[in-house]
Structure 1
Amino acid sequence: MFFPMDPTFILLIPAIILSLYAQIKIQSTFAKYSNVPSSSRLTGAELATRLLYGGGLRGVRVDYVPGTLTDHYDPSQQVLRLSEPVYASSSVAALGVAAHEVGHALQHGERYLPLILRNSIVPVANLASTAAFPLLFLGLILRWANLIWLGALLFTGVVLFQIITLPVELNASRRAVNLLARGGYLDSRELPMVKKVLGAAALTYVAAALMSLLNLARFLILAGLNRED
């Protein structure tokens, strides 16, 4: 986010470039492998149901959610939601995404520590993402470094959330590949395709983490500049 009297916006350029590339990469990769039918012919919903049952998670429901790449696992309701291009599709991309979300459900069932940590700081991260930038803006307008420092302190919650998200997502992707390989749901030709889809998705989380780190750096630099004034 850009503010008047802010000479640090240039710091975000690498993260902005990476974010744009990551979005293009995931959309193009997902679209490409959405056109490749899987050898198992299972839909994303059917695969997710089988994997959940196989993992002992019979209480987790598989539902449809509108949109594209809106797939997610909701631990509060124990619902795995699959988007339109995944739920009823038997493509390689669909199975990869479905297995990835099952990976999150398995993490929740096993009380995977990084997932527990991430979920525990969600309220802090939500508050920080809402309040930090207004505090930065007011601090710059009023030339009051303490407000900027407070914004920086809050924003560390966002940074922690993004950093902890990386191992959570990477672990879910590794679980997905292992589940698909061990269960014979995809053959040796299809597994590298799934890895490309999941690798492209992981890049979006790397970009988000970089963006949050560089924004925190901006807070700290601006607080220092205003204190000197």
Structure 2
Amino acid sequence: MYYNASPIYFVVILAMLASWLIQWRLKSKFQQYSQLGLQSGLSGRQIAELMLADHGITDVRVISVEGRLTDHYNPADKTVNLSENVYEARNAAAAAVAAHECGHAVQHATAYSMLQFRSAMVPMLSSVSTFMPWILMAGVFMLRTSLIPLGVGIALFSITTLFSFVTLPVEFDASRRALAWIDKRGIVTPQEHAMAKDALWWAAMTYVVAAISSLATLLYYVSIFLGGRDRR
């Protein structure tokens, strides 16, 4: 039996295109919502500090980092890192991002299982990502002589795919916590809440597309492996 990789390759291309379109849409949404100031007048930094305080978290610092859309929570040093256009900004987009990153801090403080699983995978993923592309490349070139290198590469790539899917519930849960808190705390008006929710939805879609793209790429390599085995 011959395994045709073309359909899967087409899915990979579509996923790459979707990723570009969603990134463009995300930046467009953030630009749009950044033009409207919050009625509460709170900055991203103030919102983050307030959310941490409300959850009894006193050992996490809120700091500013360079770049655009570079916001993240670092569980290693317990810092909420807000990009320059979020840290001091006072709009719905900044409120959404600041609260979302604090949502990860709350996950950490409450030992959210999926975040713990994801964090445990990070060291292994860092090691794998260094040499995995070279193993996959070697595996494709050596397909006629040995299937082992490609099989090893596929096994390693499956780890990155798993990581992409584990990330999804972590991100969606952080957004859920963020939106619930800013609404309950009165940080945003109903209109601002809708904008914050929309911004976080588009941000979440980048992770969804990344996971789908990773799975499609994994299946592409699997199809090459199976095709090579059947031609032996």
Could you tell me which amino acid in structure 1 is paired with residue 176 of structure 2?
R
8 Å CA contact retained: 2:142, 2:149: no
Identical positions, percent: 37
Higher mean alpha-carbon deviation, 157-166 vs 139-148, is at 139-148
8 Å CA contact retained: 1:64, 1:84: yes
TM-score, normalisation: structure 1: 0.94
Q: Distance in 2 between matches of 1:164 and 1:123?
A: 15
Could you tell me which amino acid in structure 1 is paired with residue 48 of structure 2?
A
Unaligned runs of 5+ in 1: 1-5
Q: Distance in 1 between matches of 2:133 and 2:74?
A: 28
For residues 63-110 of structure 1, the C-alpha deviation after alignment (integer angstroms, 9 at most, x for no partner) is: 000001101111110111100110000011001100000100000000
Does residue 222 (structure 1) correspond to residue 212 (structure 2)? The answer is no
Q: Distance in 2 between matches of 1:10 and 1:226?
A: 20
Shift of 1:119: 0.6
Q: Identify the residue that residue 54 of structure 1 maps to in structure 2.
A: 54
Unaligned runs of 5+ in 2: none
Shift of 1:129: 2.7
Shift of 1:122: 1.1
For residues 157-198 of structure 1, the C-alpha deviation after alignment (integer angstroms, 9 at most, x for no partner) is: 101110010000000001110110010000111100001100
Q: Distance in 1 between matches of 2:76 and 2:57?
A: 14
Q: Identify the residue that residue 127 of structure 1 maps to in structure 2.
A: 127
Q: Which residues in structure 2 correspond to 1:18-57 (within 5 Å)?
A: 18-57=18-57
Q: In structure 2, the residue corresponding to 1:90 is in which secondary structure?
A: coil
Q: In structure 2, the residue corresponding to 1:38 is in which secondary structure?
A: coil
Shift of 1:141: 1.3
Q: Distance in 2 between matches of 1:127 and 1:18?
A: 28
Q: In structure 1, the residue corresponding to 2:81 is in which secondary structure?
A: strand
Q: Identify the residue that residue 12 of structure 1 maps to in structure 2.
A: 12
Q: Which residues in structure 2 correspond to 1:1-229 (within 5 Å)?
A: 9-143=9-143, 144-229=146-231
Q: Distance in 1 between matches of 2:123 and 2:136?
A: 20
8 Å CA contact retained: 1:125, 1:155: no
Q: In structure 1, the residue corresponding to 2:82 is in which secondary structure?
A: strand
Shift of 1:139: 1.3
